[in-house]
Amino acid sequence: MPELPEVEAIKLQLGKFLKGHQIVSVEVKNRKTFQGDEGKIIGGKIAETRRFGKVSVIDLDNGYSILTHVKLTGQYIYTGPHLLNPKPLSSKVIGGVPGRHTMVIFHLDHDGKLYYNDIRRFGWIRVEKTEDVENEPFIKKLGPEPPVVKKFTGKFLTLNLFKQILSKSGRPIKLVLIDQERIGGVGNIYANDALWLAKINPKTPAKELNQKSVKDLYEAIVSVLKEGIKYGGASELAFVTPDGTEGKYQKHTLAYGRQGEPCERCHKAIIKKFFLGGRGTYFCPKCQK
Ligand SMILES: [Zn+2]
């Protein structure tokens, strides 16, 4: 599932392409995907885009906002005057746009279009009053986010806050990192890589980490998320950005997806994979004891 760097990339491009466009009409092909009254957003002009954890918010100038979570396989693709000379569409956009997986089409002024494709159909789009966005239960419950982007409207995770969060949990550290109600935006890929970078075993109970490990882990999280942002996110499953291209972080992962390969740091052990809380967990048995 897209994590902070991937959703940040989606939010930034949605902002770049959509700002100034007016929504002319909305074609909803799957009612389960689109919740709320599309009539409220017709005629609205896109003013701003924001992100809360893995949720993107598109604010209109008429008091309404569009909230969206792409979940496993949701894709936004823009075509129109704000993207001249687009690159070829990624092969991950199965069926193209519009195509058999297109769930919603936003028709914009000046012949712009924003397509929402979703193969597995877990993603959602919701219309809401802008003033109510921050009172959404899932936004209120969202944990503080590591400080990796300058422009952010939510709470930031400080080292002190991180220490407090870890000291209260006896669960394996990796499961605490990916719990969105404790820390916002970190998912499976970046949690695996941050633990490898900080040389911490994913199974270690959070509260048993010493001060140095906590600080190393905090810095590692910031570092891997920044790398993720630099490479435009990781394109596993269906992740593409609204310009129709893929991120490149998957070519630069530290431990994630590297089972069977030698560890890049010690060159002595082979990265192992096991399941923790149902999620693929990758670690070096020598570096991460
Ligand atoms: Zn190693």
Please give the distance, rounded to the nearest whole angstrom, from the Cα atom of residue 264 to the centre of ligand 1: 7
Shared-domain flag, residues 108 and 31: yes
Taking the C-alpha atoms of residue 179 and residue 138, their distance in angstroms, rounded to an integer, is 12
- The reply to whether 153 falls in a domain is no
Shared-domain flag, residues 56 and 179: no
Distances (CA, A) of 112 to 47, 83, 109, 278: 16, 9, 6, 41
pLDDT above 80 for 154: no
Which three-class secondary structure state does DSSP give residue 249?
helix
Which tokens hold the place of 40? Answer: 């409220």
Taking the C-alpha atoms of residue 15 and residue 121, their distance in angstroms, rounded to an integer, is 24
Residue holding tokens 């209120």? 140
Q: Domain span at residue 216?
A: 159-283
Shared-domain flag, residues 136 and 166: no
Condensed to tens digits (0 to 9), the pLDDT of residues 247-265 reads: 999 999 999 999 999 999 9
Which tokens hold the place of 93? Answer: 């956009």
Query: Where does 149-230 have alpha helices with state H?
Result: 159-167, 173-177, 188-197, 211-230
Condensed to tens digits (0 to 9), the pLDDT of residues 213-251 reads: 999 999 999 999 999 999 999 988 899 999 999 999 999
Residue holding tokens 């942002």? 229
Last residue of a domain, one of 140, 170, 204: 140
Shared-domain flag, residues 197 and 232: yes
Please give the distance, rounded to the nearest whole angstrom, from the Cα atom of residue 257 to the centre of ligand 1: 15
Report the CATH number at residue 103.
3.20.190.10
Residues with CB under 5 A from ligand 1 (ion): 263, 265-266, 269, 284, 286-287
Angle at 148 between CA 9 and CA 86, to 5 degrees: 15
Condensed to tens digits (0 to 9), the pLDDT of residues 41-93 reads: 999 999 999 999 899 999 999 999 999 999 999 999 999 999 999 999 999 99
- The reply to whether 219 falls in a domain is yes
Shared-domain flag, residues 171 and 240: yes
- The reply to whether 145 falls in a domain is no
Report the CATH number at residue 246.
1.10.8.50
Please give the distance, rounded to the nearest whole angstrom, from the Cα atom of residue 285 to the centre of ligand 1: 7
Please give the distance, rounded to the nearest whole angstrom, from the Cα atom of residue 225 to the centre of ligand 1: 21
Please give the distance, rounded to the nearest whole angstrom, from the Cα atom of residue 266 to the centre of ligand 1: 4
Exposed / middle / buried, residue 213 (Cβ in 10 Å: 0-12, 13-18, 19+) = middle
- The reply to whether 55 falls in a domain is yes
Shared-domain flag, residues 111 and 201: no
Please give the distance, rounded to the nearest whole angstrom, from the Cα atom of residue 278 to the centre of ligand 1: 24
- The reply to whether 215 falls in a domain is yes
How many helices (H) and strands (E) the chain has is answered by 6, 11
- The reply to whether 203 falls in a domain is yes
Active site residues: 2-3, 54, 279
What is the side-by-side strand order in the sheet with 46-52? 34-35, 124-129, 64-69, 55-60, 46-52
pTM > 0.85: yes
- The reply to whether 148 falls in a domain is no
- The reply to whether 209 falls in a domain is yes
Shared-domain flag, residues 9 and 134: yes
Please give the distance, rounded to the nearest whole angstrom, from the Cα atom of residue 131 to the centre of ligand 1: 49
Overall number of domains in the chain: 2
Report, as an integer, the average pLDDT of 33-42.
Answer: 96
Shared-domain flag, residues 95 and 168: no
Last residue of a domain, one of 85, 105, 140: 140
Least reliable range by pLDDT among 13-17, 75-79, 141-145, 270-274? 141-145
pLDDT above 90 for 188: yes
Distances (CA, A) of 9 to 53, 60, 84, 122: 12, 20, 19, 20
Shared-domain flag, residues 101 and 176: no
Please give the distance, rounded to the nearest whole angstrom, from the Cα atom of residue 23 to the centre of ligand 1: 52
Average pLDDT value over all residues in the chain:
96
